[in-house]
Amino acid sequence: MPVIAVAAQKLSKVYPGGHYGLRDISITVRAGEMVGILGPSGAGKTTFFRLLNGALRPTAGSLTVLGRPMGQVSTKDLRRLRRRMAFVYQHHNLAPTMSVAHNVLAGCLGTYSLPQTVRSLVALLPQERERVWAVLKQLGMVDKMYRRADELSGGEQQRVALARALISRPELLLADEPIASVDVKTAATVLESLRELNARQGTTVLLNLHQVDFALQHCSRLLVLSAGRLMYDGEPEGIKEMHIYGENRRHALR
């Protein structure tokens, strides 16, 4: 695993029409860090993630992810790179009528052939069952393994989505507002699971949030984006001095 997980140098993304998604961002994230990215809606957080996963190409500057320069990465290399990464989104997009086990296993399908995929939809092999069990255990969800996804609470579904991301043992996990649509208690559980994963497996975690409180509590390093620019990069304590950390701090960034 490379020592540097993400390196951005004067990275910019200009959308068609001339609108800046990101402007001159320079950041280095070492492997094993857990970094929270804060910023109001429209700050460029998702743009940054889409550059990291290769869905967008940089307009200017350079970006290296897990040792790969993203500016000229080939489709084949990108596919290979994405297998080393996992994604968690605000909306978990589980297959509602399928079991938790099948939904979690879906996190491995990127490495499966078509026949393997079809077979896995019918029945799980013993070793697949074991793998799913192990990751669900980590998240305290073993008892839900054979339940249908749509029978679970919203918070449980978000944890299934996290299990689906973790089963491939990613080197880099990108979580884009994973707690934006869950209650406060679930949000804490999801963030604790991420932190544990980070500590236990050494997975590099980048986490987009707009709740300042949670970021302060769970991340050891914070970046703040505003209008596509990097406004802060450092320890959580430091942002208390910034104007975004106002009286109504939970909602300060909405």
Footprint of ligand ADP on this chain (CB under 6 A)?
15, 19, 21, 39, 41-47
User: Of these partners, ligand ADP, Mg ion, none, which one is at the site of residue 44 (CB under 5 to 8 Å by kind)?
Assistant: ligand ADP
Among ligand ADP, Mg ion, none, the one that 157 touches (CB under a kind-dependent 5 to 8 A) is none
Q: Specify the amino acid at residue 11.
A: L
Minimum Å distance from CB 236 to ligand ADP?
19
SS3 68: strand
Q: Is 168 in the site for Mg ion (CB under 5 A)?
A: no
Which residues on neighbouring strands pair with residue 234, listed in sequence order?
222
From the list ligand ADP, Mg ion, none, pick the one residue 42 interacts with, judged by a Cβ distance below 5 to 8 Å according to partner type. Answer: ligand ADP
Shortest approach of Mg ion to residue 178 CB, angstroms?
12
Considering the complex, state which of residue 42 and residue 246 has its C-beta at the smaller distance from Mg ion. Answer: 42
Looking at the Cβ atoms of 4 and 244, the one nearer to Mg ion is 244
Measure Cα distances from 194 to 108, 116, 148 in Å: 19, 29, 24
Looking only at the bridges linking them, the beta strands covering 68-69 and 85-89 are unpaired
Q: What is the CA radius of gyration of the chain?
A: 18
Helix (H) or strand (E) holding 5: strand 4-15
As measured in angstroms, the least distance from the Cβ of 177 to ligand ADP is 8
Is 46 one of the binding residues for Mg ion (CB under 5 A)? Answer: yes
Shortest distance in whole angstroms from residue 14 CB to ligand ADP: 9
- Dihedral of CA 59/25/230/176: which sign? positive
